[in-house]
Amino acid sequence: MLWAVSRAPLAKLQEYKRRLGWTFPWASSVDGEFNSDFSASFTEEEQRKGIDYNYEREEPVAPISSRSTSDGASKFAAMCGTDVNTYIRERPGMSAFALEDGVVYHTYSTYARGLDGLWGMYQWLDRAPKGRNEEDVWWRRHDEYNRESQQKGASNDKGITEGDAEHWLQNFPRYNCAGATQSRQHFLLPAPHSN
């Protein structure tokens, strides 16, 4: 069974979970040691001395590189409303456990780039001609697409605007694979209407 664990108050996690329509179990470790026990959360003191993360020793307050932006950690810290040092004290990680005869065994952990396999979209984007084609923070939560689309203009119920589809149709070659061609229908857009 999949569980998520985050260092935030449970009420905040539950509200976010409701907002995004998630149904998996999500626990709060805000008052516990779970995250630090599995090398995914660090104190200010540990950060000043250097930490062990992703099976490597990091120098004191080492910057985190990012594939999506040149100033990665500082941009993401600002998006979260915090400073860089606080932001990089909390790191991503995934651990697996087995329960056998009433005993819990820690069987696996991975961190940083080892988590890419869990982000389903990356596996597809990494195989595209331009890869992730990242220039800035490009991802949004699913409920943010409709908000942004409504501000830009007409959209379908998937949050794709006329402008989005036109950009794709104009900027990418049209391939004819087994008789299928890219078209307005490919983007599930309503037919244009005239006034």
Model confidence pLDDT, tens digit, residues 81-108: 888 888 888 999 999 999 999 999 999 9
| Model pLDDT, residue 190 | 42
| Model pLDDT, residue 117 | 80
- Give the H/E segment covering residue 5: strand 4-6
C-alpha span between 195 and 8 (Å, rounded): 51
Model confidence pLDDT, tens digit, residues 126-183: 787 877 776 666 667 778 776 655 555 544 444 445 555 555 445 444 433 333 344 4
Q: Let me know whether 13 and 62 are in one domain.
A: yes
Q: What is the pTM of this model?
A: 0.60
Q: Let me know whether 156 and 100 are in one domain.
A: no
Q: Let me know whether 73 and 154 are in one domain.
A: no
Q: Which residue has the higher pLDDT, 194 or 139?
A: 139
Q: Let me know whether 157 and 109 are in one domain.
A: no
| Model pLDDT, residue 118 | 81
| Model pLDDT, residue 119 | 76
Q: Let me know whether 92 and 38 are in one domain.
A: yes
- Any domain includes 74: yes
Q: Let me know whether 32 and 96 are in one domain.
A: yes
Task: Tally the domains of the chain.
Answer: 2
pLDDT > 70 in the chain, percent: 66
The mean predicted confidence, pLDDT, of the chain is 75
- Any domain includes 138: no
- Any domain includes 50: yes
Domain housing 182: 143-187
Radius of gyration of the chain (CA): 21
DSSP structure string for 37-55: HTTSB--HHHHHH-EEETT
- Any domain includes 120: no
Q: Let me know whether 31 and 95 are in one domain.
A: yes
